Structure 1
Amino acid sequence: MARPSPRRPGAGRGARLRIAAGAVLVAVALAPAPARPADRTGAACAAAFAVPADRLARLARGYNLTGWIDTRNEREPAPGLLEELRRLGMTHVRLPVPAEDLMPAFAAPERTADRLDQIARVLDRLIALDTAVVLDLHPSGRIAELYAADPDGAVGQIEAAWDRLAPLVAARPAGLVFPELLNEPPVDAERWDGDSRRLAARLRRALPEHTLVVGPAGPQRVEPLMDRPPLDDPNVVYAVHYYDPMAFTHQGATWMGDDPLAALAEVPFPAGPDDRPLREVAAGMELIGRPDAADLVREAYGERWDGARIAAVFQAVSRWSASARRPVVVGEFGVLRFTAPPADRAAWIAAVRTAAETACIGWTHWEFRDGFGLVDERTGEPDPAILEALGLP
């Protein structure tokens, strides 16, 4: 991407303040994943679910493999990098696929055919590394615009994309490829209830054995997940995205123009409203003429943000998961590196990872090597501080 894998914080300032507050073959011989004494994402966690335990183990630890096939300026990972991450213990990748390139309303047949060939090659390369793949249908703003103008037409385009992808998925092991219906569905929860059921039923006919991944509507926050009934299909994993507080995780988001998030820098974590470093950030925003950014910080940190608060969120998700008998994963979480204090960035990632594992929830770091990256683009190597935060050697 030309921009560093941006995350959109929500439509309008009110939404932003609410959010701020509250991815056939010969396997390569690989070293076993390192022991993780605190990891509770294995068989004991899987006992209550219809999804096979070995598949949930595959979804325990991963990263979003952005910047390869989800952009016109494709950047293939350096030789050995994917192998290294697998040896370090990453069991899967989430692979964003540009949805509109597979939809007849937006792409010529030649473009779709080229994209399908590319997806097949990447799938085979990853499976050969014994790395599972969450195949994430990742739309741009065009499908959101179509949804606003013609919701049924938009669902038809999503169905058409999966009709093209399903044969690629069907030809590969059900325990290694996980179709994700749609990233951050740009509709309300009631509409997505119906559309997700329609899409899941269509995919289930084409893929009777594969485990489907589905998220709640909108930016896939935790709250809508717990407000809606699950799909009837038991072979489904739910995926939420977690970026709270966005005043911390998205500080310095340069692609957002005049948005107050773009102005923020040195916002701390953990922190509470009475902590001096946080007050100094807010005062600094006032001094440079950005009272909107100062207000954003104060509202986001109206109550203390720390590991305990994050853990409480994931315990609530775990309770929903147990009640609904559907496993949950964190499909995205991360911190933009531009202006966040590096130690605090690592502390937040460690807090989310620990909270997820303790709650029997697998995780997928956002993202690969751009602004939120697991890999340091300057060195081409995994960032040691982020590896440590993720519990990897």
Structure 2
Amino acid sequence: MRRFALALLVLSALATPSEGAPALHRGVGVHEWLNWAPLAEDGSYRRPPYRSIEQWLSGARPISDWPPTDPFETIRSLGFDFVRLSVDPGPLLASSGAERQETLDVLKSAVGHVTGAGLSVVFDLHAVTQKPEHSLDALESRADSYGALAYRKMVADVAGMLATLDIDRVALEPYNEPAFYPCEGQGTGEWQKVMSETVAAIRAVSADLTIVATGACGGSITGLVDLDPNFDDPNILYSFHMYEPHSFTHQRLDDPKAFGSGLPWPAETSTAEIVLETLKARMEAAGLSEVEQTSNLLAVQPIVDDYFRENWGEEQLDTWFAEALEWAAAHEISSSRLFMGEFGAILISEDGRMGAYDADRLRYLEAVRTQAEAHDMAWAMWEFSNPYGMSLIEPTGPAVPDARMLQALGLGDQ
């Protein structure tokens, strides 16, 4: 904690972002609209690319569930000031010339729609797995590889498009959760080259566009502190995603039939014995045999034991945030230029196979959000609407916001 206090003292004297940077404070990820770009029957990207807003909203539930208001006007009315807009880069990478310009025009219109609702936009190029040649794995290559060069050219084209918009309302995040493992200074240093050269490619197009840079290792704090910001300027934000501890935020086992849920937040509010007894009762209710229950408990017990041994709570969060703050202080970067681009926790499923109980999830969300705000960091929760347990919008029935989650996010009075 002494190191933590020192970091705060140093950071309080540092400069804030330039006046041209977007005023980002509280945001929400929108992932289902412009990601997983639809494919044609031959496996190519459909032209024109991406979904309409109506196609997005009706993708996982009846359109009649949604109110007649524009979803981005709803987001603004709830108290958010920006959207982290996930965009599948595949249609851009698969096109050139007139087709790429058509794709950029579609995306320009989409960004304009969001800013027209009074929100700023973090334009997040968010590679997905549906076409392996454009997946995140394909991007994990040397900085001078053909694929890396082609990607940077695409990023520069996106930067040029965004620079024609209201530049104090947009930011460009060129990579989401890059891998380039191992972490903790043990990597090859290739990611440093990739990020540095990507910043240079954007700056060759626009000196003022806000860039969201990230470390490797899944975009974690561990990856961030491995990054040397030798390309820094006042219009660069530095991203990290907060899913610590992963054993709490993503409670589940690889086997879809297995049970791995119910860890509390903070750990001191329950015991390992209670968690395991509850899991056993749920498995019995689901009709699992004794052999299946024993196998499941053997798989989950080490996770549960580790969680309680580490006694996860506010002190551990302090330690994680202190790493990011100390890195920023060491490089004379204001804490207000740290960007918590994702955080969240899976809600327990109806059958209890995965996730955290709602009360624990909400306590965790409030604790993480409060930590970020205490250091003037912008944050974006994951995400606005999906059927997978991390959703601001209720996953079934009328598409209304989760009122208790809004309160945990400090927006309950909006």
- Residue 51 in 1 paired to residue 47 in 2? no
- Counterpart in the other structure of 1:236: 236
> How far, CA to CA, are the matches of 1:47 and 1:95 in structure 2?
32
Instruction: Structure 1: give runs of 5+ residues left out of the alignment.
Output: 1-44
- Counterpart in the other structure of 2:326: 319
Q: How many aligned positions are there?
A: 342
- Counterpart in the other structure of 1:29: none
> How far, CA to CA, are the matches of 1:215 and 1:348 in structure 2?
24
With over 3 angstroms needed to count, the CA separation of the structure-2 counterparts of 1:54 and 1:61, relative to structure 1, is farther
Q: Which of 393, 399, 410 is residue 380 of structure 1 equivalent to? A: 399
For the 8 Å contact 2:263–2:356, the answer to whether it is kept is yes
TM-superposed CA distance for 1:308, in Å, is 3.1
Instruction: Structure 2: give runs of 5+ residues left out of the alignment.
Output: 1-10, 39-50, 58-65, 182-186, 284-291, 350-354
Matches within 5 A, 1:1-393: 48-49=14-15, 51-52=17-18, 55=21, 58-72=23-37, 74=51, 75-76=55-56, 79-104=69-94, 107=95, 112-141=100-129, 142=132, 143-147=135-139, 152-188=145-181, 190-234=189-233, 235-252=235-252, 257-258=254-255, 263-272=259-268, 274=271, 276-280=273-277, 287-290=293-296, 291-326=298-333, 327-337=337-347, 338=349, 339-370=355-386, 371=388, 372-378=390-396, 379-393=398-412
For the 8 Å contact 1:46–1:53, the answer to whether it is kept is no
Classify the secondary structure of the residue corresponding to 1:248: helix
> How far, CA to CA, are the matches of 1:82 and 1:310 in structure 2?
31
> How far, CA to CA, are the matches of 1:362 and 1:315 in structure 2?
16
Classify the secondary structure of the residue corresponding to 1:302: helix
Deviations 1:144-189 (A, max 9, x none): 4434576612211311321331222011122111001211123245
Identity percentage of aligned residues: 25
Task: Tell which structure's C-alpha radius of gyration is larger.
Answer: 2
TM norm structure 1: 0.78
Deviations 1:342-361 (A, max 9, x none): 11111111110011111222
> How far, CA to CA, are the matches of 1:355 and 1:312 in structure 2?
11
> How far, CA to CA, are the matches of 2:121 and 2:20 in structure 1?
14
Given residue 349 of structure 1, which amino acid in structure 2 is its aligned partner?
Answer: L
TM-superposed CA distance for 1:367, in Å, is 1.1
TM-superposed CA distance for 1:309, in Å, is 2.1
TM-superposed CA distance for 1:301, in Å, is 3.4
For the 8 Å contact 2:372–2:379, the answer to whether it is kept is yes
CA RMSD, 1 decimal: 2.7
With over 3 angstroms needed to count, the CA separation of the structure-2 counterparts of 1:111 and 1:359, relative to structure 1, is same
With over 3 angstroms needed to count, the CA separation of the structure-2 counterparts of 1:252 and 1:61, relative to structure 1, is same
With over 3 angstroms needed to count, the CA separation of the structure-2 counterparts of 1:182 and 1:93, relative to structure 1, is same
> How far, CA to CA, are the matches of 2:110 and 2:236 in structure 1?
24
With over 3 angstroms needed to count, the CA separation of the structure-2 counterparts of 1:293 and 1:154, relative to structure 1, is farther
Given residue 345 of structure 2, which amino acid in structure 1 is its aligned partner?
Answer: V
Deviations 1:45-73 (A, max 9, x none): 897235226746x2211011111111346
TM-superposed CA distance for 1:247, in Å, is 1.8
